[in-house]
A and B are shown apart, each in its own frame.
Chain A
Amino acid sequence: DSGVTQTPKHLITATGQRVTLRCSPRSGDLSVYWYQQSLDQGLQFLIQYYNGEERAKGNILERFSAQQFPDLHSELNLSSLELGDSALYFCASSTKTGKVEQFFGPGTRLTVL
């Protein structure tokens, strides 16, 4: 158990819908990262927050957005969902933005029908 929690574990929805994925980092970790993993592919970095502020952006679509709240939990919002958005979404946290040892949550499996 990494100490990072993600909810929900599974999510099934239809095209065009909007969903919110939630992540709670390890106690004391200020940095949160979001990754997408499509079927049988490597992880793609989406976005990073550090202490409530956006720190880095990867290949995140404009239909996707994220935020980190004062209690340090983070939410990833996915809108106008397409079939291709079906994937595992992982959240990771680290003690600070300079610490590369990232601790990953169990992921949310999103299925868009």
Chain B
Amino acid sequence: DAKTTQPPSMDCAEGRAANLPCNHSTISGNEYVYWYRQIHSQGPQYIIHGLKNNETNEMASLIITEDRKSSTLILPHATLRDTAVYYCIVRSTADSNYQLIWGAGTKLIIKP
């Protein structure tokens, strides 16, 4: 079962920052937070992951609270192409199989 809770949908204006929250209150010390997105039935795309420090790459920033019970994915300047379902996944690197357990995600709609 998914260990994360995300709002089912969100809207954001084009050019503004899109902030997608994720609750993972039962996260344990060796579990990472990963974000993927899926654009309209295409294969999911990896975005970013982190353990406890904030992370940034060319696509997004990941802010993890100090208690690690929640995180926020930030798309700094959203474009129409960012319209997608965004999945927050908690995953331990201690497990032997590394399968990803997917929740329902957040459907992000970027509006012109």
- Chain A residues packing against B (C-beta within 8 Å): 2, 4, 31, 33, 35, 41-45, 48, 55-56, 58, 88, 90, 92, 94, 97-107, 109
Alpha-carbon separation in the docked complex, A31 to B104 (Å): 25
| Extra A-B contacts (19), CB below 8 Å, given A33-B100, A43-B102 | A2-B43, A41-B104, A43-B100, A48-B99, A55-B97, A56-B96, A56-B98, A97-B96, A97-B98, A98-B98, A100-B32, A100-B34, A100-B98, A100-B100, A103-B46, A104-B43, A106-B43, A107-B42, A109-B41
Q: Given contacts A42-B87, A42-B105, A100-B32, is CB(A92)–CB(B99) below 8 Å?
A: no
5 examples of A-B residue contacts, CB within 8 angstroms? A2-B43, A44-B102, A92-B44, A101-B49, A107-B42
Q: Could you tell me how many residues of chain B have their Cβ less than 8 Å away from some Cβ of chain A?
A: 23
CA distance A42 to B32 in the complex (A): 20
- Selected from B41, B46, B96, B103, the residue in CB contact (under 8 A) with A102 is B46
**Closest Cβ neighbor of A40 among chain B residues:** B104
Question: Are the CB atoms of B49 and A58 closer together than 8 Å?
Answer: no
A42-B87, A100-B32, A100-B91 known; A107-B101 Cβ under 8 A: no
Q: How far is the CB of B37 from chain A (nearest CB, A)?
A: 11
In the complex the two chains form, is A42's CB within 8 Å of B46's CB? no
B45 in the interface (beta carbon within 8 A): yes
Q: What residue in chain B is nearest A44 (Cβ atoms)?
A: B102
With beta carbons under 8 angstroms apart, the residue of B34, B43, B98, B103 that contacts A42 is B103
Q: Check A56–B99 contact: CB distance below 8 A.
A: yes
Q: Could you tell me the distance between the alpha carbons of A103 and B46 in the complex, rounded to whole angstroms?
A: 7
Q: What's the least CB distance linking B49 to chain A, in Å?
A: 7
